[in-house]
Each structure stands twice: as structure tokens, then as C-alpha cells.
Structure 1
Amino acid sequence: MQQVGICGSDVHFWQDGLIGDFVVKKPMILGHEGSETVSKHGDGVTTLKVGDRVVIEPGVPCRRCKYCKTGRYNLCNDCVFCATPPYDGNLSRYFVHAADFCLKLPDHVSCEEGAMLESLSVSVHACNRGGVKRGNKVLILGSDIDDSRLEIGKTLGPTYTLKVTSRDHQVVAKQVEDIMGTRLRSPLSEAGHRPV
């Protein structure tokens, strides 16, 4: 593997030993956001050659269920997903993966950038599902934002930032509405951590 991102799920498995029903029962290699250079491939592989730089799609579905047959293989119940017990991840020197779930990287995309494509695709999918279009106002929320993280965030191009200090949800809603100039119409929610 050339580059592997560290996802929140990796941290959960490392720190907590589980995510929902997926429980770590034996030592496990983490990592599912990866890019690599093909060093070897099976005899039947015709789409890749040694030296190709690829990003891996971390879940390999069964290819037989109703979801797979309708192109919604991300919903496959029999998906083998990197770094999800009992399967090892790709934070390793070498990793064997299905060729049809290895996507060639264009020359202008580095392996480091390629490793982030899986997490980017989740955000793009959420925006597509939510109907987000160019020019829409969007609100991005995060937790545990200290001043240094907020300063880094400001360099990434937001129009406004807000560090919430009130625990009164109506006060916070009013602050957000004042900044946005409107009420939120299509909330999308992603919770990356179990409640504490």
C-alpha cells in the first residue's frame, strides 16, 4: 500500500474494540481508505497491470443479491469490507483485493489524494442524496472544535464560522439562522461517534 487514511472507524475499533455489532475478537489490521501501486495480479486480471496506481473501493459485495444486481452494492448484506471484523484492513505493506474494486488513478491525482477518495465519495453521495447544488448555502457542524482547529477551518474557505458556546439549542438555532439568513430546509446528519 502506498497511502492509507485513518478513519474514525479505525479509531473506534482501536479504542473501543467494536462498532455496533462488529466486535474485534482477535488482532486485526486496520485501514480501509487506501491507494496502492499494483505489484502483482492474478492470471485472469486484464484491467490492471503491474505499476498501475489504484485506489481501492473497500467493500467487495457478493455480486448476487438484489442490491448488487441493481447497482446498489453498497447495501449488500454479504459485503466483505476492509477493516471490519472479521476482515483485516489495508494498513499494511501489501494487500490483496478484487481487481474490479481497484480503480486506476489519473496521473494528476497523487496516491495521498487517492487514499482520501473513499471518504470524499461519502460526502459527495450525501450531497447528491440531499439535492445540494452549486451556490446552495450549507451548514457543516463539528464537535470538539477548539480555537486552533477553528483557525485551520477558516483557511479552507468558509463564508462564516461560529464557535458555539451556548448549550441552549434555541440560542444556537437563532445564531445559525442569522448567519445563514434562513432556516435550514434539508438537514443531512452524520454522526461519527456514539453518544456519551
Structure 2
Amino acid sequence: MDPAIIARQNGGEISDGKPKIPEGFVFDPTKYEQDTGNLAVYVCGFDDVRVLPYKVQALGDEDVRIQMKAIGICGSDIHYLKHLRNSRVALKEPMVLGHESAGVIIETGKLVKNLVVGDRVALEPGIPCYRCSFCKQGSNNLCREVKFFGSPPVHGSLAQQVVHPASLCHKLPDKVSLEEGAMCEPLSVGVHACRRASIQAGAHVLILGAGPIGLLTMLVARAFGAVRVVVTDIDEKRLSTAKEFGADSTVLVSSDMNELNEEAQAMQIAMEALIDVTFDCVGTTKTMTTALNITRSGGKVCLVGMLHDKMTLPLTAAAAREVDVLGIFRHRNTYKLCIDLLQSKRIDIQKLITHRFGFSQDEVIKGFKVSAAGGSAIKVMFSL
């Protein structure tokens, strides 16, 4: 899709057909010349990603210092790189990217008891305030003061070393690799979505969008007991991948709103039964309209993707059929289950990692270019 269209949909301003640099955003290379003994990957401008010195925060009593080993690229990282914003959140200064991460502990704070130097851990990226009503009721992903890796103004985890609360570092069993540990973050989105939609044994599930999150949601739905899963996408290669990973059938769709009814009929035929739950892993007017129209009466629609900031939807008709509309934001209380699913091999995500790159300037540029291009790239991983 044209960058200007994406920026407009996500609240960005347009100048001469291009996304406008957020007000006040300046990259001053002289600020990053001091050798800190640590390097990180910054977004410094449109399509400008650089490996630069990064001064990590001081180690607190309840923190651990981690030597990062595996970090995946998320769609939000690409949005910041291509548009200097993600939805309505704009960068004010260069920022370290990354939030899908795992590494090895190299130092612990004096009050840390549950982890030791040498432990392999997956990092849960959001640090909630633990004081607000959302945190107290267990909905820490809705905390308004959460500090989330790679979400302005918080720097991300695509660095050689980071410091993080020990309570948010989850020890990995021997049978779970560091790459799988890094994948716990996107896998958590699928787990949270399936929990919100109450996926149970025997469910018939439709997934709109065969990107990384759509594929992971499919795998989780299957692990939760879904007996039939149909996946749609506008890309035949993505649909082939979905079939390879266990989709019962797939439907190729277009971005043309005029083809809505014909495509809905094709999806219904592919399902071979009424659709209990539809996951919209794209987040456009067309995909949500499709989801609301095709899900059975009394069923559920879960909005996972958020490509369009605003939509015009047939909610009245859906409400009359008692179709529940659910939303999710990131995830909460998912890492233990994710690690259990990976350790038991109920979910195998190794094949989702399609490309691997090192940590040099050239490798970093190549990695982001491959991820942004899509196509055969599902999950791009950096190895440090």
C-alpha cells in the first residue's frame, strides 16, 4: 500500500505525497558518538536505521542485566521505520526498536532471588505501574502508564544489553530455544486473542489475514481445540504458508470492497459449517465488515489488527444477531502458557522464523528491508 495512504489512515500528516516528519523530530549524530560499551538499533529517520551507542540504564535492586541473543522484527517496528509513527503515536526523537526478545542474564540486582547469572530468559516487554485499577485487577496491558519496549518514549530491546525487571524475565526450559523465547511476545497476542474469544474444543474459526499474527493466532486456536480453521489473505504465498501450518482451507480475497459478498460466500463454503469466531488480523473496514456479516448469530468477532484508525461498520445488523465484538491490546499474563505450549510442542513455531540476520550495520539494514518487503518473509530474527 502507498506510504501516504498508510500514514493518512494512521493519523499521520502528508506533505508532497509523503508522510510528514513529526514535529520536533531531529536526529543529531553527535549525540551518539560517545562509546558506551553497548550498541543498539535506532530508527533515525524515514527508512533510516542505524547501529549506534546506547547507554543502558543503571541496574536496580530488582532488575537483571541481559545479554540479548534473539530479537524479532514486528510490524510496529516497520511502521516506525517507514513513517516515524505507529497509529497516532509519533516519534519525538530517534528510538531503539524491538520488543520481541530473549537473552542470557549477566548480572542480577541484590534483591533478585528467582534468577541467576547464566539463565536464559524471554523478556515480557511491558512494565506496568502496578498501582492503577487496571493493574490491580490483572489487566496490566491496559495500564495507562505502562512502559513498553520500542513504544515512544521508551527505547526497545534491539540492543546488545538491556536492563529489565526480573519479574518480567521468564526463565526458559532447556527444550525451548532463545529464538522461541523471543517469539513468546507475538505468540502472546494469539493467546490473548483466543482467550478473549473463549476458543474451546469444537470451535469453527475464520482468520482474516495470514501475516505473522494471523498464523500465530491460527496455531493457538488449534491448540485450544478448534476443529476447523479457514484463513483468508490477498497474497497466495501467505495462503500457501497457512496451509503448510495447518489451515483446513484458504480463500484468496482482494482489497476491492465491491467483492465483499462474493468473498463472504466463498469463505462460508470453505468453512463447511457456521463460523463460531472470526479473528480480524488485518483491521480494515472491509475485513471487519466481512467478519460481522459472516460470523454466525451468537458468535464472536475479535479485532486483532489495527490498520485503519477509523471504520464505518454494520454494527446494528450484527447487534441484532447478538454477534459479540471484542478487541485486544497487546497481551497480559500469557508468558507461562506460551512457554508451556512451546515446551510441550503443542505449538511449533520454528518454521515461522524464515530469515535470520546478524547485528552489523549491513545486516540490520538487510533484515529490516526483508521484513518490510513481506512476501516469503514471515518472521525476521536478529541473532546477537
| TM-score bucket of the superposed structures, by smaller chain | over 0.9
CA contact (8 A) 1:4 1:31 kept: yes
1:189 aligns with 2:256: no
Q: Report the Cα distance in structure 2 between the residues aligned to 1:109 and 1:145, rounded to whole angstroms.
A: 33
Structure 2 alignment gaps of length 5 or more: 1-67, 211-232, 276-294, 310-384
Find the counterpart in structure 2 of residue 24 from structure 1. Answer: 91
Find the counterpart in structure 2 of residue 71 from structure 1. Answer: 138
Could you list the per-position Cα deviations for residues 144-179 of structure 1 after superposition, in whole angstroms to 9, with x for gaps in the alignment? 643322222221111111112474211111111111
1:85 aligns with 2:199: no
Q: Report the Cα distance in structure 2 between the residues aligned to 1:100 and 1:157, rounded to whole angstroms.
A: 35
CA contact (8 A) 1:55 1:115 kept: yes
Could you list the per-position Cα deviations for residues 55-112 of structure 1 after superposition, in whole angstroms to 9, with x for gaps in the alignment? 1110001111111122221111111110011111001111111111111111111110
Find the counterpart in structure 2 of residue 33 from structure 1. Answer: 100
1:20–1:192: structure 2 CA closer, same or farther, 3 Å change rule? closer
Find the counterpart in structure 1 of residue 269 from structure 2. Answer: 178
TM superposition shift of 1:192: 4.0
**Alignment-mate amino acid for residue 159 of structure 1:** D
Given candidates 212, 221, 239, the residue that maps to 1:150 is: 239
**Alignment-mate amino acid for residue 250 of structure 2:** T
Deviates more, 1:169-178 or 1:141-150: 141-150
What's the secondary structure of 2:190's corresponding residue? helix
Q: Report the Cα distance in structure 2 between the residues aligned to 1:22 and 1:46, rounded to whole angstroms.
A: 37
Structure 1 alignment gaps of length 5 or more: none
CA contact (8 A) 2:128 2:135 kept: yes
Matches within 5 A, 1:31-180: 31-142=98-209, 145-165=234-254, 167-180=258-271
1:14–1:194: structure 2 CA closer, same or farther, 3 Å change rule? farther
Q: Report the Cα distance in structure 1 between the residues aligned to 2:235 and 2:137, rounded to whole angstroms.
A: 44
Q: Report the Cα distance in structure 1 between the residues aligned to 2:201 and 2:178, rounded to whole angstroms.
A: 28
Higher strand share: 2
Q: Report the Cα distance in structure 2 between the residues aligned to 1:89 and 1:35, rounded to whole angstroms.
A: 12
Q: Which of the pair has the greater relative contact order for Cα pairs under 8 Å at 6+ separation?
A: 1
What's the secondary structure of 2:207's corresponding residue? coil
Q: Report the Cα distance in structure 2 between the residues aligned to 1:148 and 1:71, rounded to whole angstroms.
A: 39
Q: Report the Cα distance in structure 2 between the residues aligned to 1:178 and 1:108, rounded to whole angstroms.
A: 40
**Alignment-mate amino acid for residue 82 of structure 2:** Q
Q: Report the Cα distance in structure 2 between the residues aligned to 1:68 and 1:152, rounded to whole angstroms.
A: 38
Q: Report the Cα distance in structure 2 between the residues aligned to 1:122 and 1:94, rounded to whole angstroms.
A: 25
Deviates more, 1:158-167 or 1:114-123: 158-167
Q: Report the Cα distance in structure 2 between the residues aligned to 1:158 and 1:27, rounded to whole angstroms.
A: 40
What's the secondary structure of 1:37's corresponding residue? strand
What's the secondary structure of 2:122's corresponding residue? strand
Instruction: Tell which structure's C-alpha radius of gyration is larger.
Output: 2
CA contact (8 A) 1:8 1:192 kept: no
Q: Report the Cα distance in structure 1 between the residues aligned to 2:201 and 2:174, rounded to whole angstroms.
A: 27
> How many residue pairs get matched?
196
Q: Report the Cα distance in structure 2 between the residues aligned to 1:108 and 1:146, rounded to whole angstroms.
A: 34
TM-score in terms of structure 2 length: 0.49
CA contact (8 A) 1:57 1:101 kept: yes
CA contact (8 A) 1:3 1:36 kept: yes
